Amino acid sequence: MVTAAPPVPRVELAYVPTPLGRLERLSRELGIELWVKRDDLTGLLETGNKIRKLEFLVGEALAAGADTLITCGTLQSNCARAVAAVAARLGLRAVLALKGEPPETYDGNLLLARLLGAEVRYVSDGEWEGIDGVLADLAARVRADGRVPYVIPESGATVTGALGYVACGQELAQQIEHGAPDFDTVAVTAFSGGSQAGLLMARQLFGLRAEIIGVPVAWEAARVRTYIRELIAAARSRYGLGVEAPEEIRLLDGYQGPGRASVRAEELEIVVRVARLEGILLDPVYTAKAFGGLLDHIRRDRRALGERVCFIHTGGIFSLFPFRRPLSRLLDESGLVES
């Protein structure tokens, strides 16, 4: 894939290949084989799906002579923290436009981003409506300082970013070739759908047999589908990849809850349950919603996704810490999360 003409700039940032592990107790409970691909282990600070996207985004930034990475997101943005970590690792500057008020004390991803030296511009809800203008302004200021900016949209959601998950799918195909189970279904959390788009492209390019399904955690399904189609078309025209958007883009819809901004007790319960049952930490904002949706779907119909299902854990655990209060309450309630 990276040898497609013209060559695609890439910086190696993720510690890969990420391991595959079978979830023994959940598999027994569900009556299928449930596996997890540990993309939460792509690094410590460089954890999760963002770092795979950043290999290509930062590759493009460096090829363009950039020395300052600019991005945006929520106060607990995983992408913003990953950008801050990569900037520190490569000797670049990071400027983050984050939606919210400056907090009294830093926590979770924001604490790490500040610790890693990122500058933060807090963006009000009103300003967020025109976030592209805010990013353009920040880029202009960086230029006025004689530096070269590179803007990464929220969640690294560009065709270049999606190449990171083409690489993830290629890696999975190689793992299967070397003896990992030939999964019937690969499931991934979908915010923008960029990671799922990358996996769908990898399926065509590297002969993965598995169905690729996404679990939307914020946007409605139609919006995710449209975005995935656009990305695949853009990958074809921009990078010359021999890929087509599939007729059917499969999403497990209805697990968004009230959206990304709010986390309910049930997401925290899934975090606790999976931690105790399998020793794996999900994050309440993204992966707990998606994994909870996946479990619910399989429980309703054991055969719906086949006998061997792999969930790609896209990371994000630092956003757990700002939930310490509701989590503490939950942990102190008796009778919770019996397996």
Ligand X SMILES: Cc1ncc(COP(=O)(O)O)c(C=O)c1O
> Known catalytic residues?
77
CB 81 within 8 A of CB 45: yes
Quick check: helix, strand or coil at residue 149?
strand
How many other CB atoms are found less than 10 A from the CB of residue 202? 26
Helix axes 159-177, 194-206, angle to 10 degrees: 50
Query: How near is the Cβ of 259 to ligand X at its closest, in Å?
Result: 13
Measured CA to CA, the distance from residue 159 to residue 219 in angstroms comes to 18
Query: How near is the Cβ of 164 to ligand X at its closest, in Å?
Result: 9
Residue 49 sits in the site that holds ligand X (CB under 6 A): yes
Residue nearest to ligand X (CB): 316
Site string for ligand X, 112-151 (x = CB under 6 A): ----------------------------------------
Residue 314 sits in the site that holds ligand X (CB under 6 A): yes
Phi–psi pair at 261, nearest 5 degrees? -65, -35
Interface residue with ligand X among 14, 26, 36, 48 (CB under 6 A) is 48
Interface residue with ligand X among 26, 157, 159, 208 (CB under 6 A) is 157
Task: Provide the phi-psi class of 146: left if phi over 0, else alpha when psi is between -120 and 50, else beta.
Answer: left
Helix axes 194-206, 49-63, angle to 10 degrees: 90
Please name the residues in contact with 245: beta carbons below 8 A apart, sequence gap of 6 or more. 200, 228, 229, 232, 233
Query: How near is the Cβ of 45 to ligand X at its closest, in Å?
Result: 14
Interface residue with ligand X among 43, 59, 149, 193 (CB under 6 A) is 193
Measured CA to CA, the distance from residue 121 to residue 266 in angstroms comes to 32
Comparing CB distances to ligand X, the nearer of 142 and 286 is: 286
Comparing CB distances to ligand X, the nearer of 108 and 315 is: 315
Taking CB under 6 A as the binding criterion, the range among 29-37, 143-151, 294-302, 311-319 that sits at the site for ligand X is 311-319
CA 57 vs CA 100, 210, 336: distances in Å = 25, 27, 42
Comparing CB distances to ligand X, the nearer of 224 and 309 is: 224
The residue count for binding ligand X (CB under 6 A) is 18
Residue 155 sits in the site that holds ligand X (CB under 6 A): yes
Taking CB under 6 A as the binding criterion, the range among 16-24, 138-146, 188-196, 273-281 that sits at the site for ligand X is 188-196
Site string for ligand X, 77-116 (x = CB under 6 A): -x--------------------------------------
Query: How near is the Cβ of 332 to ligand X at its closest, in Å?
Result: 27
The CA-based dihedral angle spanning residues 161, 167, 172, 173, taken in that order and rounded to the nearest 10 degrees = 130
Comparing CB distances to ligand X, the nearer of 142 and 224 is: 224
Ordered strands of the 308-312 beta sheet: 20-22, 33-37, 308-312, 185-190, 211-216, 250-251
Measured CA to CA, the distance from residue 277 to residue 275 in angstroms comes to 6
Comparing CB distances to ligand X, the nearer of 26 and 317 is: 317
Residue 190 sits in the site that holds ligand X (CB under 6 A): yes
Residue 192 sits in the site that holds ligand X (CB under 6 A): yes
Residues within the interface to ligand X (CB under 6 A):
48-49, 78, 155, 157, 189-195, 283, 286-287, 314-316
